[in-house]
């Protein structure tokens, strides 16, 4: 099970790498399309920032669900992602980086304020069955965000 310290460290690393990629790509790099989802790299940055703004209510909803209930039931992830990214289409790269910093810094404060037993609760979400909330958060927030950032870098490496 991921500890609160591991969650905080992962979120801090996500912020760091969001800033790094924000400073590391030129206009051509931001315009490149990723293989995985068809988004341009700038849209990927928007997605990562947007996810940071919904982590707290999302994880809270999972925690409030019955342990055997699927926390993803009835959720249209594609529509949600399209809405979140679409709302940020006019933002600059720096504004998106600033959103990542602010959103995930807020998540860090929330994580630190939760009792340890909150993250030990086991829940089900999509294909994850009976998994501690801390592990769900580590996979669906930290690793998810880092995988998108890595994919954005990868898209610029291979033309």
Mean pLDDT, range 8-32, rounded to an integer:
95
Dihedral sign from CA coordinates of 141, 146, 87, 40: negative
Flag whether pLDDT at 15 surpasses 60. yes
Percent share of the chain, pLDDT over 70: 97
Q: Per-residue confidence at 116, pLDDT binned at 50, 70, 90? A: confident
Digit-coded pLDDT (tens) for 32-68: 988 677 899 999 999 999 999 999 999 999 999 988 8
Per-residue pLDDT tens digits for 80-90: 999 999 999 99
Rounded Cα distance, 95 and 137, in Å: 25
Question: If phi over 0 gives left and psi between -120 and 50 gives alpha, with beta otherwise, what is residue 127?
Answer: alpha
């Amino acid at each position: 099970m991921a500890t609160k310290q591991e969650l905080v460290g992962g979120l801090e690393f996500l912020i760091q790498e969001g800033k790094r990629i924000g400073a590391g790509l030129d206009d051509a790099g931001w315009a490149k399309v990723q293989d995985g989802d068809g988004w341009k790299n700038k849209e990927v940055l928007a997605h990562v920032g947007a996810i940071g703004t919904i982590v707290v209510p999302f994880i809270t909803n999972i925690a409030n669900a019955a342990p055997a209930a699927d926390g993803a039931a009835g959720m249209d992830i594609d529509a949600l992602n399209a809405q979140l990214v679409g709302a940020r289409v006019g933002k600059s790269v720096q504004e998106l980086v600033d959103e990542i910093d602010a959103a995930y810094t807020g998540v860090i404060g929330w994580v630190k304020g939760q009792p340890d037993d909150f993250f030990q609760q086991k829940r089900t979400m999509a294909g994850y069955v009976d998994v501690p909330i801390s592990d769900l958060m580590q996979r669906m927030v930290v690793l998810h965000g880092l995988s998108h950032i890595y994919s954005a870098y990868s898209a610029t490496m291979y033309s």
